[in-house]
Amino acid sequence: MSRVVVTGIGSVGPGGFGTGSLVRALDEGQPLGGVETFDTPRGRRREMRVARIAPFDPEPFIPARKLRRMDEVSQVWTVACMLAHSDAGLDAAGSPDLPYPPEDRATFLGTGLGCIAATWEYLRELTAEGAAMANPFLFSESVANAPAGHSAIELDARGPNCTLTCADASAVAALSAAARSIRDGRAKLAYCGGLELLPSLAVQTLAALGAPGFLGEGCVALVLESLESALSRRARIYAEVAGLASGSDPRCGSSEWSRDADRMAGVLRRAVKRSGRPAVRKVFLHASGFGAADEAESRAAAAVFPDAPVIRPSLVFGTLAAASGFSLALSALDSSRLSSDEAQTVAAWSWGGGLHSVSLCGPPA
């Protein structure tokens, strides 16, 4: 089985393009975004902080004629993949120098809400104007795997192409599936990560459902490669994907968060054990914003990592942000400063009870 490493990171977040803005925001420790007010049922109003991605121009990355056929989420994901591609030192798609044939390049996207804006718009039109007037463009862009389909076309990635959804934990689920795909020889390179954009109707609905008071948008794409391939092309290695673990809490209602600290601890322990690096230097916690769930998470972390510093990116970027992708990006960046026998662990829980964890360790010596 191949060892898997992270060689490229691309992000589109509240601070703009690139990972520098993520690191700065985390260092400053202040919540991003601004307060928005939403109507909820029975005439109540609720204030929510929302960290939205900064307006951006995708034209330097994607030709205008193609942008007209892409919804905003597809644009954001495709640009993040291109940034990661470039960050990994890979040449432009189609270049004869690209070290991997198209068939060896996979795509694994994780998203909780997916193409919700296109879906709402399509449904509104459909409801107002009838089935016979359905807009074929909006329909095809409302299909949840449209972003991964578009990025595969732009980057000529003809390997496995998969869109996973596990609510807030989607990016970690996608990274785990991508890493398994490389380990199992299904691909040599994978673009993977998380994506979440929040149209106002989605935030209004989440507000009415009692979501925590701070939501965030964003997108992160990572380039994963086999260690062997990365070394052969002398790529910069941020981190090794060393340990994966997943489980779930079946007692958790399908619209609730797990409060089972023992189950959470079990998943964290398995990720660390599988990494073979018991020296965990930092833990990125999920911090959903729901009191009982977060208390359980803190207990789990204290039980498994009594001495490791704890980071909660959602306090800066909001929950949902990049569906846990920001934690992955920040952990991968930070892991580049670790030795190969030290690790960081990322926890990602989803509402409905999904539990995912990944341990990243420093670049191989």
Partner 1 sequence: MSERIRIAVTGLGIICALGRDRHRFWSNAVEGRGGIGPVDLFDTSGCKAAIAGQVREEPDPERTRRGRVRRASRTDRFCMTAAVEAVEQAGLAGGGSSSLERFGISLGSSTSGMPEAERWVREGIERGFGRQRASRVLRLPSSAPADAVAEMLGAGGPRLSNMTACTSSALSIGQAADLIRSAETPGMIAGGGDTLCLMTYAGFNALRLLDPKPCRPFDATRQGLSLGEGAGVMVLERWEHAVDRGAQPLAEFLDYGATCDAHHMTAPHPDGRGASAAMADALARSGLDAGQIGHINAHGTGTDLNDSTEARAIRAVFGTDGVKRIPITASKSLFGHGLGGSGGLEAVVLVLSLIHQMAPPTLGWESREAGAPALDIVAGAPRRLSCTYGMSNSFGFGGANCSLIFRTAP
Report the distance separating Cα 170 and Cα 188, nearest Å: 22
365 binds partner 1, rule: CB under 8 A: no
Identity (one letter) of the amino acid at 11?
Answer: S
Choice between 30 and 255, CB closer to partner 1? 255
Among 52, 188, 259, 263, binds partner 1 (CB under 8 A): 263
Sites for partner 1 among residues 83-102 (CB under 8 A): 102
Under the criterion CB under 8 A, does residue 123 sit at the interface with partner 1?
Answer: yes
Closest approach of partner 1 to the CB of residue 151, in Å: 9
Q: What number of residues does the chain have?
A: 365
Within 8 A by CB and 6+ apart from 225, the residues are 4, 5, 7, 88, 182, 188, 189, 190, 235
* Burial of residue 307, with CB atoms counted within 10 A of its CB: 0-12 exposed, 13-18 middle, 19 or more buried: exposed
* Calpha distance 177→162 (Å, rounded): 9
Q: Binding pattern to partner 1, positions 170-189, x when CB under 8 A?
A: ---x---x--xx-xxxx---
The DSSP bridge partners found for residue 111 are 195
**How many residues bind to partner 1 according to rule CB under 8 A?**
84
- List the interface residues with partner 1, window 274-293 (CB under 8 A): none
* 43 contacts partner 1 (rule: CB under 8 A): yes
CA–CA separation, 114 vs 56, rounded Å? 19
Segment contacting partner 1 by CB under 8 A, of 19-27, 82-90, 160-168, 330-338: 160-168
Kindly tell me which of 14 and 353 has the beta carbon lying closer to partner 1: 353
3 state SS for 28-61: HCCCCCEEEEEEEHHHEEEEEEEECCCCCCCCCC
Rg (CA), the chain: 20
Residue 210: CB minimum distance to partner 1, A: 9
- Among the listed ranges 47-55, 227-235, 246-254, 327-335, the one in contact with partner 1 (CB under 8 A) is 246-254
Binding residue for partner 1 (CB under 8 A) from 13, 15, 33, 159?
Answer: 159
**46 belongs to the binding site for partner 1 (CB under 8 A):** no
Q: What span, in angstroms and rounded, lies between the C-alpha atoms of 40 and 213?
A: 14
Q: Is 204 in the site for partner 1 (CB under 8 A)?
A: yes
Spatial contact of 152 and 161, defined as CB atoms under 8 Å apart: yes
**Residue whose CB is less far from partner 1, 15 or 38:** 38
Interface residue with partner 1 among 24, 37, 124, 341 (CB under 8 A) is: 124
Q: Is 40 in the site for partner 1 (CB under 8 A)?
A: yes
Binding partner 1 (rule: CB under 8 A), the pick from 118, 148, 261, 283 is 148
Pick the stretch among 51-59, 139-147, 220-228, 316-324 that binds partner 1 (CB under 8 A). 139-147
| Contacting residue, 3, 158, 236, 299, with partner 1 by CB under 8 A | 158
Q: For residues 176, 180, 186 and 189, what is the CA-based torsion angle, rounded to 10 degrees?
A: 50
